[in-house]
Structure 1
Amino acid sequence: MKTQIKKILILGSSLLMLSLLTGCDFTDYKTRIQRENDINNPTGNKSVCLAVGDLTEDMYPYTIKYMPGYHKDLHYRDPIYVNHKLNKRLALYAKEGLFTEELVGHDGDKPLYRYDLTEEGRKYVDWWGGTNFCFGRVVVEKVTGVDDQLQGQRVIIFTYHLENVPNWIKNKDIYSLYKGYGGLKEGVTGQIIEGGAHYYSISYDGTLRLKIGLSGAYVL
Structure 2
Amino acid sequence: MTDEPQFAPWGTVTPAFWASQPEPSPQNPLPQPARTRVPAALAQGPANDTSEHPPPPPEEYKERVAAITATFTPPHDPQRLQWAAHQAERLDQEATATYGPTHTHTISVRELRGWIARLQGDPAAATRWDLHITQLQAAAWGMQHRITRAGAQRAVRHWTEIPDPATRLALSKELLGMLSAVTGDNSGLSRHVRKLIRKTQV
TM-score by length of 2: 0.30
* Max Rg structure: 1
TM-score by length of 1: 0.28
Identify, as 1 or 2, the structure richer in helix: 2
